[in-house]
Amino acid sequence: MKLPSVYEPGKYENEVYSLWEEGGVFTADPDSSKEHFSISMPPPNETGTLHMGSALFVVLQDILSRHARQQGKDVLWLPGTDHAALATDNLVEKRLAEQGTSKHQIGREAFLKEVQQFVGGNRDRIVSQLKSMGASCDWSRMRYTLDPMLNRCVNEVFVKMYNDGLIYRGERIINWDPNLETTVSDDEVVHKEEKAPFYTLQYGPFQIGTARPETKFGDKYVVMHPDDKRYAQYKHGDSFEAEWINGPVTATIIKDEAIDPDFGTGVMTITPWHDHTDFEIAERHGLEREQIIDFDGKLLPVAGEFAGMKIDAARPKIVEKLKSKNLVVKSEDYTHNLALNDRGGGVIDPQIMLQWFVDVNRPAVNWKGQLRSLREVMRAVIEDGDIKLVPKRFERTYYRWIDNLRDWNISRQIWWGHRIPIWYKGEEVYAGTQPPKGQGWEQDADTLDTWFSSALWTWSTLINPSLAGDFNLSLDELLARSPDYKAYHPTSVMETGWDILFFWVARMILATTYATGQIPFKTVYLHGLVRAEGGKKMSKSDPDTIIDPMGVGQKYGTDALRLALVSGVSAGSDQRLGIGRVVDNRNFCNKLWNIARYTEGVAGEAQPKAAPKTPADHWILNKLSILTDGISADLDNFHFHQAYQKLYHFVWDDLADWYVESSKKEPRPSVLSAVLRSTLICAHPFMPFITEVIWRELGWDQQGLLAAQTKPEPIEFNRDESGKFEETRAAILAERAPDRIKKLLAEKQAVHRSIETLEKRLANQEYINKAPEELVQSTRQELNAQKDQLRSIETELESLKG
RNA sequence: GGGAUCGUAGCUCAGUUGGCUAGAGCGCUUCGUUUACACCGAAGAUGUCGGGGGUUCGAGUCCCUCCGAUCCCACCA
């Protein structure tokens, strides 16, 4: 025996991957006459580590890519990494804090140097981890979100939008994270329930409710619903005097329909600077607004004696003062939703700031010959079926999201990322892909939301990078001069998690249709989250939930991990992954390994040749052809799980348990080899390492790689012969089961069925009422007889077993 | 408040447009070490398909309703 009885993945995996790379089998060829197939990898954080979620996307995209190659297509799976602006910026800031300094102290340039240094030391890990998962990407086309060409594209799109009036700068209320000192987009705000005291305060003649007394210093408007009869005596615009926290104020009455008369007293005061709803009310009525809390989360001089205090510290003191002035009517416990930053967890404090926005409502996009708004185009590409979402139900949530879409705040007050290509000199503003000529220009300090650059990912990565510095070329010309773009865009499939449908998928649609006039991809396949066994999210803060794909891959083999992930996947649904599933699939790998060992034993290094003779030969070839077609069809429809099941049962049940067993009596080594050869090809997209190892160990194609093989040649078989084996198979099965028990079981089922029918009949009122008395009686007797029969069968079965 | 998904064997889940007696893996019971594999083989037990109603010749599958779980969006001061 050449092969050991147990497959040891660790001995082969690295070597096999290098062979693939050296063989150039993952390299795309845009000039090929073959049909092109392309996937853009969702770029993982360049300094991150591979977690189960990334392992899942690697497996699914790798299966699609390898399968497409087998179908004879020219495949580009383009890998890349993301600069993860906010996360990285934040991390480096923390490191600086540990050294007792901060980014503002050391300045922009020094800070960016720090980031580069940090990033540089961590960049290679994620790439080698992707490779160890078996990812068959074209590494020669690896991209990075801060590559010069990608930066160029960001600037080109920004300037184009700016010139089209789609980007504007304005004072808006935004979500401010005082900890990270940056804005957070609406989609990145998460809400957490929190119990907090809810105060009812006396404000002039009114009682108002609030959970945030610390924002109330500047309040000088009381708002109520125009139809609220309780307050009919007060007119819009009336003013009155009220004694307030730091003395008397003059307040004005505002009537607005945003107020819910049933909540609290139906009256509230507003703080336009620090609340979204209040801001909108103030906008509608042209009211004054005043900042109460600064960007560090401290109270401003308007707070009087409380100025300079952090809000958490100030709140109880303010309440105390209100109490002492007899302004607190009551306080009660109340659960409200606290807004938090999804990336970093700081409490969001809305602020009014000058920010850059993308206007989603201005009709400035030429789409299919019509001038439409970004929002309309985003809707149209799905409605018209240009882009298909899998599973389809996400279309509904997508439409809902589009309908509620507000202008996209794209400026971030961090330093790591694509800087906004806007320069100022006094009153002058310059927008350009290159800095303006002349002295005294100063670039906007903000960077762009990381999703702005990610939104261009499917095509900015396909432009010839060597053209990045050629500013004579327009964006259209850049695209036109890029063979990759022509061959691979729109991409065939976007495979990603449903959790970033809005962040990323929707933004790619927005930016790509606008900038290139093409859709970014034809199909979006959305997979679910990989959860821990109990259903909990795998998260760093809860180490018990985490299964490290790298550790598991090393221990049980990457193929076992890949199979475990595929076996649990279904479109749009989360899966629970326990180590048990990995073990099962490790066993499955070993099964395949031992089929190969057996084949090697009986066939030696004889070439596989398909000359079926026995019924079993025809039978297994029949099964094999069903498998080959089935897997193709399933993968075309993204039914990964089904394809996996077919493979599993073919290999274990049909091939190992029946064909190999039966061939022990009548060995047909050449057919066995041929079947195994085809099986390896079918299995390869799912379990690339072990299949490649067997392929080479069996020495059929010493120079060729399995990864380079196209789909197996169909082998002729005879259906009647195959049917004959079905019969022998049935006979063997019948022989295995002891006679008496078999008979009893059949009888038991028959009795069971008749009991059911009788019970059904007796349960039918029509039957009871209309049928003759005797008939109903006899039915009852029959039923009882059958039940007795069943009981006796069961007792006999028990005794036979005992 | 709006929406989505799920509820099938002890556990994790399949079940495509409604179609024979509802499946898989693990686990469990019994037997077996037959020279590919104990990371094995054979046999076996286990289900009111969440409850109720409807459409149909026929419903796990379609419709209504209720119960339970999860998630997303919006958010009331």
Q: What is the pLDDT of residues A699-743, one digit of tens each?
A: 877 668 999 988 888 888 998 898 888 888 877 877 776 655 555
What does the pLDDT read at residue A551?
Answer: 94
What does the pLDDT read at residue A700?
Answer: 76
- Tokens representing A504 are 């990323």
Q: Which residue would you say has higher pLDDT here, A137 or A602?
A: A137
State which residues between 101 and 160 of chain A bring their CB within 7 Å of strand B.
Answer: none
What does the pLDDT read at residue A23?
Answer: 94
* A211 vs A84: CA distance, rounded Å: 35
Q: Which nucleotide minimizes the distance between its C1' and the CA of A208?
A: B77
- How is residue A306 annotated by DSSP? G
State which residues between 519 and 548 of chain A bring their CB within 7 Å of strand B.
Answer: 533, 535
Q: How confident is the model at residue A774 (pLDDT cuts 50, 70, 90)?
A: low
How distant is C1' of B44 from CA of A506, in Å?
Answer: 53
What does the pLDDT read at residue A179?
Answer: 85
State which residues between 258 and 277 of chain A bring their CB within 7 Å of strand B.
Answer: 258-270, 275-277
- In sequence order, what are the residues at sequence separation of 6 or more whose Cβ sits closer than 8 angstroms to the Cβ of residue A18? none
On strand B, nucleotides with any atom < 7 Å from a protein CB are 2-6, 12-15, 21, 24-26, 36-45, 70, 72-77
What does the pLDDT read at residue A791?
Answer: 66
State which residues between 487 and 526 of chain A bring their CB within 7 Å of strand B.
Answer: none
Asked whether the beta carbons of A177 and A327 are under 8 A apart, the reply is no
Q: Are strands A74-78 and A36-40 parallel, antiparallel or unpaired?
A: parallel
What does the pLDDT read at residue A352?
Answer: 93
What does the pLDDT read at residue A760?
Answer: 57
Q: How confident is the model at residue A758 (pLDDT cuts 50, 70, 90)?
A: low
What does the pLDDT read at residue A194?
Answer: 79
How distant is C1' of B34 from CA of A594, in Å?
Answer: 17
Tokens 């507000």 found at: A406
Among A241-245, A302-306, A533-537, A763-767, where is mean pLDDT lowest?
A: A763-767
What does the pLDDT read at residue A90?
Answer: 86
Phi and psi based region of residue A570 (left: phi greater than 0; alpha: psi -120 to 50; beta: remaining) = beta
Q: Which nucleotide minimizes the distance between its C1' and the CA of A594?
A: B36
How distant is C1' of B32 from CA of A736, in Å?
Answer: 13
Judge whether residue A628 contacts strand B, using its CB and a 7 Å cut-off: no
What does the pLDDT read at residue A69?
Answer: 97
Computed over every residue of chain A, the mean pLDDT equals 89
Which amino acid appears at position A453 of this protein?
S
Q: Which nucleotide minimizes the distance between its C1' and the CA of A8?
A: B39
Judge whether residue A399 contacts strand B, using its CB and a 7 Å cut-off: no
- Tokens representing A363 are 């009709």
Which amino acid appears at position A528 of this protein?
G
* A542 vs A564: CA distance, rounded Å: 22
Please name the residue whose C-alpha is nearest to the C1' of nucleotide B73: A401
How distant is C1' of B27 from CA of A293, in Å?
Answer: 60
Q: Where are the alpha helices (DSSP H) in A610-716?
A: 615-636, 640-649, 661-665, 669-683, 688-697
Q: Which nucleotide minimizes the distance between its C1' and the CA of A596?
A: B36
How distant is C1' of B28 from CA of A721, in Å?
Answer: 39
For residue A706, give the nearest of A696, A715, A698, A697 by alpha carbon: A696
- In sequence order, what are the residues at sequence separation of 6 or more whose Cβ sits closer than 8 angstroms to the Cβ of residue A266? A224, A225, A228, A230, A231, A259, A260
Mean of pLDDT values over A546-555:
92
Q: Is the dihedral of CA A312, A313, A319, A321 positive or negative?
A: negative
How distant is C1' of B60 from CA of A753, in Å?
Answer: 19
State which residues between 644 and 673 of chain A bring their CB within 7 Å of strand B.
Answer: 645, 648-649, 652, 656-657, 660-661, 664
Among A461-475, A527-541, A773-787, where is mean pLDDT lowest?
A: A773-787
How distant is C1' of B60 from CA of A571, in Å?
Answer: 20
How distant is C1' of B34 from CA of A779, in Å?
Answer: 53
* A228 vs A259: CA distance, rounded Å: 10
Judge whether residue A763 contacts strand B, using its CB and a 7 Å cut-off: no
Judge whether residue A187 contacts strand B, using its CB and a 7 Å cut-off: yes
How distant is C1' of B4 from CA of A391, in Å?
Answer: 12
How distant is C1' of B12 from CA of A678, in Å?
Answer: 31
Q: Where are the alpha helices (DSSP H) in A107-147?
A: 108-132
For residue A108, give the nearest of A444, A337, A593 by alpha carbon: A444
Q: How confident is the model at residue A787 (pLDDT cuts 50, 70, 90)?
A: low
Distance of CA A514 to the CA centre of its chain: 24
Tokens 């550790």 found at: A551
Judge whether residue A168 contacts strand B, using its CB and a 7 Å cut-off: no
Q: Which nucleotide minimizes the distance between its C1' and the CA of A536?
A: B70
Q: How confident is the model at residue A1 (pLDDT cuts 50, 70, 90)?
A: very low
For residue A448, give the nearest of A410, A416, A482 by alpha carbon: A410
Q: Prior bond to A391 cis, omega within 30?
A: yes
How distant is C1' of B30 from CA of A665, in Å?
Answer: 28
C-beta contacts of A27-30 below 8 A and 24+ residues apart: A27/A138, A27/A140, A28/A74, A28/A75, A28/A76, A28/A138, A28/A141, A28/A484, A28/A487, A28/A488, A29/A74, A30/A74, A30/A76, A30/A483, A30/A484, A30/A486, A30/A487, A30/A488
pTM of the model: 0.89
What does the pLDDT read at residue A756?
Answer: 60
How distant is C1' of B77 from CA of A415, in Å?
Answer: 35
- How is residue A9 annotated by DSSP? G
Judge whether residue A5 contacts strand B, using its CB and a 7 Å cut-off: yes
What does the pLDDT read at residue A623?
Answer: 92
Mean of pLDDT values over A690-701:
89
Instruction: Using the predicted structure, report yes or no on whether residue A802 has a pLDDT greater than 50.
Output: no
Instruction: Using the predicted structure, report yes or no on whether residue A587 has a pLDDT greater than 90.
Output: yes
- Tokens representing A300 are 């401003």
Instruction: Using the predicted structure, report yes or no on whether residue A498 has a pLDDT greater than 50.
Output: yes
* A42 vs A54: CA distance, rounded Å: 9
How distant is C1' of B60 from CA of A219, in Å?
Answer: 60
Helix (H) or strand (E) holding A759: helix A739-763
How distant is C1' of B21 from CA of A789, in Å?
Answer: 19
Please name the residue whose C-alpha is nearest to the C1' of nucleotide B11: A533
* A295 vs A413: CA distance, rounded Å: 11
Max mean pLDDT among A288-292, A747-751, A789-793 falls in A288-292
Q: Which nucleotide minimizes the distance between its C1' and the CA of A338?
A: B75
How distant is C1' of B45 from CA of A642, in Å?
Answer: 27
State which residues between 326 and 385 of chain A bring their CB within 7 Å of strand B.
Answer: 336-337
What does the pLDDT read at residue A532?
Answer: 85
User: Would you say how long chain A is, in residues?
Assistant: 802
Query: Helix A549-556 to helix A108-132 angle, to the nearest 10 degrees?
Result: 30
Q: Are strands A411-412 and A447-448 parallel, antiparallel or unpaired?
A: antiparallel
Q: Which nucleotide minimizes the distance between its C1' and the CA of A534?
A: B12
The sheet with strand A491-497 has its strands ordered as A74-78, A36-40, A491-497, A521-527, A388-390
Mean of pLDDT values over A225-229:
88
What does the pLDDT read at residue A545?
Answer: 81
How distant is C1' of B48 from CA of A613, in Å?
Answer: 50
Q: Which nucleotide minimizes the distance between its C1' and the CA of A749?
A: B21
Asked whether the beta carbons of A458 and A521 are under 8 A apart, the reply is yes
How distant is C1' of B33 from CA of A550, in Å?
Answer: 36
Q: Which nucleotide minimizes the distance between its C1' and the CA of A571?
A: B5
Q: Are strands A247-255 and A349-358 parallel, antiparallel or unpaired?
A: unpaired
Say how many C-beta atoms besides its own lie within 10 A of residue A456's C-beta: 23
How distant is C1' of B17 from CA of A524, in Å?
Answer: 23
ipTM over cut 0.90 = yes
Judge whether residue A575 contacts strand B, using its CB and a 7 Å cut-off: yes
